[in-house]
């Protein structure tokens, strides 16, 4: 085989293989994007599960308890604060009594009397700037923070997850005589680059009748 024939063969191979290699590279990029998207959706679903559980338990009163007989009407079972967090995120705080069973707060601590204040457990959610990001490095969104009470009844903040741009909570209208409250919770998740997802869920209270 002459040098010319060899060069022609190499050129033809290059022409034929380039589209295949480009397609393979594009497939890898799309696969990485898909996996990142699924990871963000999974993280958001976990956050929705925790926030939704807190909203549903808000206002729970133990029928055996006598602590709240005189002032239960004045208790703010759910407090919604607008645009107080990272990038204008909302915040929500819920309170409830302890049941006779096993209760957990938003980070999985077993709720006992020493984790209450005025005999009420507290769970809160907000988005704050990512504290773990090194100085000068662009943060991968903000951090979803869980607020709860420690064993001395003091407020503590714990990071649930990173990659959260905003937390938006809107109270929806329901029948005035129902005693229920309905909240639409929106999360914008990000990978810190090109991927941004907006997801929403709606949760209804169960104990504010």
Mean pLDDT lowest among 90-104, 139-153, 165-179:
165-179
pLDDT > 90 fraction of the chain, expressed in percent and rounded: 49
**Structure confidence at residue 4 (pLDDT):** 57
**Phi, psi torsion values for 172, nearest 5 degrees:** -95, 155
- pTM listed for this prediction: 0.81
Q: What is the rounded average pLDDT of the residues 60-85? A: 78
Region 162-186 average pLDDT: 88
Q: Band the pLDDT of 100: cuts 50, 70, 90.
A: confident
Note the pLDDT of residue 30: 72
Three-state DSSP at 107 gives coil
Name which of 10-19, 51-60, 77-86 the model is least confident about.
10-19
**17, pLDDT greater than 80:** no
What's the whole-number average pLDDT of the chain? 83
pLDDT band at 109 (very low <50, low <70, confident <90, very high): confident
Alpha-carbon gap, residue 55 to 43, rounded angstroms: 19
pLDDT exceeds cutoff 90 at 55 = yes
* DSSP helix/strand/coil, 51: helix
The pLDDT value recorded for residue 35 is 85
How far is residue 57's CA from residue 172's CA, in Å, rounded to a whole number? 18
pLDDT confidence of residue 52: 96
Listed ranges 90-94, 162-166, 179-183; the one with the highest mean pLDDT:
90-94
| b/e per residue 116-152 (b: at least 16 CB within 10 A) | beeebbbbbbbbbebeebeeeeebbbbbbbbbbbeee
Per residue in 158-170, pLDDT (tens digit) is 999 999 999 999 9
More confident residue, 81 or 119: 81
């Amino acid at each position: 085989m002459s040098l010319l024939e060899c060069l022609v063969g190499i050129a033809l191979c290059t022409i034929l293989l380039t589209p295949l290699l480009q397609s393979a590279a594009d497939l890898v990029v799309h696969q990485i994007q898909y996996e990142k998207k699924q990871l963000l959706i999974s993280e958001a679903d976990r956050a929705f599960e925790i926030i939704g559980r807190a909203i549903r338990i808000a206002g729970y009163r133990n029928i055996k308890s006598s602590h709240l007989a005189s002032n239960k009407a004045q208790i703010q079972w759910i407090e919604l604060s607008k645009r107080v967090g990272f990038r204008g995120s909302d915040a929500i705080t819920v309170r409830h009594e302890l049941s006779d069973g096993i209760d957990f707060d938003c980070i999985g601590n077993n709720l006992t009397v020493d984790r209450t204040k005025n005999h009420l457990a507290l769970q809160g959610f907000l988005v704050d700037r990512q504290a773990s990001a090194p100085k000068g490095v662009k943060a991968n969104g903000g951090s979803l923070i869980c607020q709860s009470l420690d064993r001395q009844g003091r407020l503590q903040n714990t990071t649930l997850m990173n990659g959260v741009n905003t937390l938006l909570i809107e109270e929806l209208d329901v029948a005035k005589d129902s005693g229920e409250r309905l909240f639409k919770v929106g999360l914008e998740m990000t990978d810190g680059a090109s991927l941004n997802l907006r997801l929403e869920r709606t949760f209804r209270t169960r104990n504010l009748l």
